[in-house]
Structure 1
Amino acid sequence: MNGARERYARVLRVPHARALLLAELPARLPIGINGLAIVLFCREHTGSYASAGAVAAGFGLAVGLTSPLIGRLIDRRGLARVVVPFSIVHAIALWALVACGLSDVPVGALFALAVAAGAFIPPLGSISRAMWPRILAREEPGLLATALALEGVMIELIFVTGPLLTAALAVLIDPAAPLILSPLLLLGGLCGFLVQPPVRAWVISAHAGSHGALGALRSAGIRTLILTTAPMGFCFGAMEVTLPAFSEHEGHRPLAGVLVAVWSFGSAIGGLAYGARSWSDPAARRYARLAALLPIGYLPLALAPSIPVMAGLALLAGVCIAPTLTAGNQIAGDVAPEGAETEAYTWPTMSLVAGIAVGNWVAGVLVESGSWQLGCLAAAGAASVAALLAALRWRTLSGAPVVQEAAL
């Protein structure tokens, strides 16, 4: 235990590390708000989980599709010149979605605005992960896995507090309140993030733009991470809709955010345990083993008879999430082409977010036409696909030199 605390303490003692984490926290809190907030808001104003899931899927798909493009722009043009105008457009689009939703416009208009909002949100997680090797390079280069685990734990805590905050605001004020607050947090957090010394010292690499149209996709490892992360995202997205549907089925709709938060808390526990260890085995093998454990937690959820039992099962189901994604993030940095690091980190994120979006949509349809149990089964099936792909392609994740072929 003392060794674990010391590893995290050493990361936080690195110059600027603690200040950077604190500065980016409010700007990243919206990722824990937007998905559930869109579902609750659209469910309130359209009366349909299928429609709510579709709008949330539009937002998530847009985030996923544009993140690599934004990452490539950052690598080539600099950080502040890209994230500031994009964040402003994102805020305008999300507030317009709220205004239109309150005016009872057709679902198609809400979908279009959700797509616009998602398309312009900057990939702050990928930016932060790309900065950790730079921050640790001179002081603690051997602690990258711990730093990325700390990053993952922070994300999971965001996914704990975000849904709780979303549910509380939706119940106490209005379902529109979280969607109004979210862009304010992003813009306010950016003001603190962009003035941090490591951010101001961001330098465009001499190799930026030298990898052709494929960019970071020249790496076979990045392509494998895309393939394995998409079904993981589907699993997580299905649960984002299934857990609220289960809460409503049990007659406790306000507890939707609590269940999602408990699930994310399980992931945070797993992430802390992962970062506390000094790993000696290859990251590629570790990633495949963790992916194999992921689906085991989701089948039992379909048998949950009550809210307390579902909370316990969701906690256990979440334990492998952060360790698996953290191992994948470390691999992304290892296999990234030089000068395309930010873009490299965005590709698995894109795949994850796109998978979440499709999972939102499919689970919405399943819950609407069948039962919440079908959402759990779909989540388990998708996680199994991810485990199979990781087992088949783990050798491409070994950090080998970038390949030149374009084929997948």
Structure 2
Amino acid sequence: MNGARERYARVLRVPHARALLLAELPARLPIGINGLAIVLFCREHTGSYASAGAVAAGFGAAVGLSSPLIGRLIDRRGLAPVVVPFSFLHAAAMAGLVALGLAGAPLGVLIALAAAAGAFIPPLGSISRAMWPRILADEEPGLLSTALALEGVLVELIFVSGPLLTAALAALLDPAAALVLSPVLLLVGLAGYMVQPPVRAWVVSAHAAAHGPWGALRSAGIRTLILTTAPMGFCFGAMEVTLPAFSEHEGWRSLSGVLVATWSLGSALGGLAYGARSWSGSPGRRYARFAALLPLGYLPLALAPSMVVMGVLALIAGCCIAPTLTAANQIAGDVAPAGAETEAYTWPTMALVAGIAAGNWAAGAIVEGVSWQWGCLAAASAAGVAAALAATRWRTLSAQEAAL
């Protein structure tokens, strides 16, 4: 335990690490707010969950599609010249969504504004992951896995606190309040982030324009991470729907959020454990082993007889999420072509977002048409596909083998 605390303390003692993390918190909180806030806002002001889902889907799809393009722009033009104007464009689109939503604008207009807001939001997670190797350059190499694990835990906390904040604002004021607060938090956080010395020292690599239209996709390792992360995302998206469906089946609909939060807590605990030690050996093998554990965690959920048992099983199932994704993030940096690091981090994220969206949609149809048990089995099956792909392609997940 003392060794684990010391590793995290060493990361936080690195110059500028704490300041960057503190600035990141408000800037990244919108990723835990926007999805639910858009759904609640549109449901409140259009009267339709179908319309709300369409607007939220437009936002999410735009985020996933634009992130690699923004990452490539950052690699080739610099951080501030891209992030600052894009952030203001995002805020303007969100303001337009709120204003026209309150005015009763047609659904197509709301979808277009939500898509614009999603298209311009900076991929702060990928930017942060690309920053860690820079500020840890003079430290022990093994500390990078600890820093990325800390990053993963931060994301889990955001996905717990963001929806809670959104629900509170919707109950006390109006869902519009959450949509107004979200870009304000982004801009405030970015104001603190962009003035940090490592951010101001960001320079464009001389190799940034050398990769042609393929960019980071020139790396076979990045392509493998996309292939394996998409079905993982399907698994996670399916569980986001299946756990509430189970709660409703058991007569505890109001506690569905508790099950999802317990699942996220398991991921956070797994991430802390992953970052508490220094890992050796092949990163690709390690990633494949964690991926192999994922389906084993989700199969037992289909047999849960009660809320209490499901809570315990969900906690256990969540424990491998953050370690697997943290290992993937570390590999993305290792196999990224020189000068395309930011873009490289965005591709697995895009695959994850797309997989989650597909899992949400498929599990909704499955639990409504068959049962929640089959939702669990669909999640486990998708995780099994990811495990099989990781097992057959792990050799591409090293810097030596990743290039074409």
Between the aligned partners of 1:175 and 1:302, the Cα distance in structure 2 is 34
Letter in 1 for 2:281: D
Task: For residue 254 of structure 1, report the CA deviation from its aligned partner.
Answer: 4.7
Distance 1:297 1:257, change over 3 A: same
After the TM superposition, which residues 6-45 of structure 1 pair with which residues of structure 2 at under 5 Å, given as runs?
6-44=6-44
Residue in structure 2 matched with residue 317 of structure 1 by the alignment = 317
Letter in 2 for 1:56: A
Unaligned runs of at least 5 residues, structure 2: none
TM-score between both structures, scaled by the size of structure 1: 0.91
Residue in structure 1 matched with residue 94 of structure 2 by the alignment = 94
CA contact 2:396–2:402 (8 Å) conserved in 1: no
Task: For residue 342 of structure 1, report the CA deviation from its aligned partner.
Answer: 0.6
Task: For residue 13 of structure 1, report the CA deviation from its aligned partner.
Answer: 0.9
Instruction: Say whether residues 1:285 and 2:285 are aligned partners.
Output: yes
Distance 1:142 1:29, change over 3 A: same
Residue in structure 2 matched with residue 377 of structure 1 by the alignment = 377
Deviations 1:182-229 (A, max 9, x none): 222111111111111111110111111111110111110000001101
Between the aligned partners of 1:197 and 1:38, the Cα distance in structure 2 is 35
Which stretch shifts more, 292-301 or 61-70? 292-301
Residue in structure 1 matched with residue 158 of structure 2 by the alignment = 158
Q: Which secondary structure does the structure 2 equivalent of 1:278 belong to?
A: coil
CA contact 1:169–1:175 (8 Å) conserved in 2: yes
Between the aligned partners of 1:101 and 1:365, the Cα distance in structure 2 is 28
CA contact 2:142–2:278 (8 Å) conserved in 1: no
Between the aligned partners of 2:380 and 2:43, the Cα distance in structure 1 is 25
Between the aligned partners of 2:177 and 2:305, the Cα distance in structure 1 is 32
Between the aligned partners of 1:100 and 1:298, the Cα distance in structure 2 is 42
Deviations 1:66-123 (A, max 9, x none): 1110001001111111111111222232343344444555554443333222111110
CA contact 1:11–1:140 (8 Å) conserved in 2: no
Residue in structure 1 matched with residue 217 of structure 2 by the alignment = 217
Q: Which secondary structure does the structure 1 equivalent of 2:399 belong to?
A: coil
Letter in 2 for 1:343: E
Which stretch shifts more, 391-400 or 55-64? 55-64
Between the aligned partners of 2:249 and 2:380, the Cα distance in structure 1 is 20
Task: For residue 376 of structure 1, report the CA deviation from its aligned partner.
Answer: 3.0
Residue in structure 2 matched with residue 260 of structure 1 by the alignment = 260
Residue in structure 2 matched with residue 71 of structure 1 by the alignment = 71
Distance 1:287 1:129, change over 3 A: same
Letter in 2 for 1:111: I
Give percent identity, aligned residues only: 82
Deviations 1:10-50 (A, max 9, x none): 11111111111111111011112223333444455566655
Task: For residue 141 of structure 1, report the CA deviation from its aligned partner.
Answer: 2.9
CA contact 2:132–2:144 (8 Å) conserved in 1: yes
Between the aligned partners of 2:92 and 2:375, the Cα distance in structure 1 is 33
CA contact 1:24–1:193 (8 Å) conserved in 2: yes
Task: For residue 154 of structure 1, report the CA deviation from its aligned partner.
Answer: 1.1
Task: For residue 166 of structure 1, report the CA deviation from its aligned partner.
Answer: 2.4
Distance 1:169 1:314, change over 3 A: farther
Which stretch shifts more, 254-263 or 364-373? 364-373
Between the aligned partners of 1:284 and 1:131, the Cα distance in structure 2 is 22
Residue in structure 2 matched with residue 358 of structure 1 by the alignment = 358
Q: Which secondary structure does the structure 2 equivalent of 1:8 belong to?
A: helix
Between the aligned partners of 2:109 and 2:371, the Cα distance in structure 1 is 28
Letter in 2 for 1:12: L
Distance 1:311 1:42, change over 3 A: farther
Instruction: Say whether residues 1:145 and 2:167 are aligned partners.
Output: no
Residue in structure 1 matched with residue 188 of structure 2 by the alignment = 188
Which stretch shifts more, 309-318 or 47-56? 47-56
Between the aligned partners of 2:55 and 2:392, the Cα distance in structure 1 is 34
Residue in structure 1 matched with residue 207 of structure 2 by the alignment = 207
Which stretch shifts more, 197-206 or 164-173? 164-173
Between the aligned partners of 1:48 and 1:300, the Cα distance in structure 2 is 35
Residue in structure 2 matched with residue 113 of structure 1 by the alignment = 113
Residue in structure 2 matched with residue 338 of structure 1 by the alignment = 338
Task: For residue 3 of structure 1, report the CA deviation from its aligned partner.
Answer: 1.0
